[in-house]
Amino acid sequence: MKKPVLTPDLIRLNANPHTKQQAIQMAGALLVEQGYVAPDYIEAMLLREQTLSTYIGNGVAVPHGVDEMGTLIHHAGIAILQMPQGVHYGPQLVTLLIAVAGHDAAHLALLSRIATVCMEEENVARLVAATSTDELMTAFLPSVSSNDLL
């Protein structure tokens, strides 16, 4: 059975990790707990981060696993950490971290939707100030009823 790409259980408001690695592990744990990925996918995200930063600008990072780790993904999905206090991602401060789990076209569609939403600083500021998971879900889902980014 296909899982929704985003649910309230995949969002953490006011998360306060102390390091980039903790933030990636926290978002990865949400994907693991909800059955989207195998536990080793967290290590795949950390591995990718060692070779190439997933910071995309405007205070947003989009960690995801390396291509060879696709077998660790059970369902396409995203986990969102809202971090108003931010976490250092090298010289940048990240306030919104969106962990992505997806294969091929699903992976590209997820990244495309995230980039579209996060390209405007005002959108990111609104998401970082959001007080409910519904506000974040509405921003990333084209229609609240579909719960499908693809």
Residues designated catalytic: 64
| Contact criterion met (CB below 8 Å) for 56 and 110 | no
* Residues near 117 by beta carbon (within 8 Å), at least 6 away in sequence: 123, 127, 139, 140
Q: Which residues, listed in sequence order, are joined to residue 79 by a DSSP beta bridge? A: 99
- Based on the number of CB atoms within 10 Å of its own CB, is 3 exposed (0-12), middle (13-18) or buried (19 or more)? middle
**Nearest to 84, CA basis, from 8, 28, 10, 17:** 17
